[in-house]
Amino acid sequence: MFIKAQQIVKRAQRFTQRNLLPNHILCYHVQVLQEYAKHLISSVEILPDMELVQHETDESHIKKDKCICHRLENYKHIDL
């Protein structure tokens, strides 16, 4: 029983390291928002109380080689 629990823990850790690091989550959000933008019918209305969030120009902190969402064109956001 203890060995089985250790195997479960190791698999969970491996899954987390491969799928749930910040760069994976960022990649997922980019994919979701790009898909959402394709379905917008009307232009986005900017309200007076909205705040502009600047995009960082330095993306060196993002491990792009680990981001696979742009390589998986057949995948939907729920598959990633």
Tokens found for residue 1: 């029983």
Which of 23-27, 54-58, 67-71 holds the top average pLDDT?
23-27
pLDDT at site 56: 66
Whether 42 maps to a domain, the answer reads no
Whether 46 maps to a domain, the answer reads no
**pLDDT grade, residue 32 (50/70/90)?**
confident
Whether 73 maps to a domain, the answer reads yes
Whether 2 maps to a domain, the answer reads yes
Whether 49 maps to a domain, the answer reads no
Sign of CA dihedral 61, 62, 65, 66: positive
Split into its structural domains, the chain has a count of 1
Range of the domain at 73: 1-36+61-80
Q: Is the pTM of this model over 0.85?
A: no
Whether 48 maps to a domain, the answer reads no
Closest CA to 63 of 30, 23, 26, 18: 23
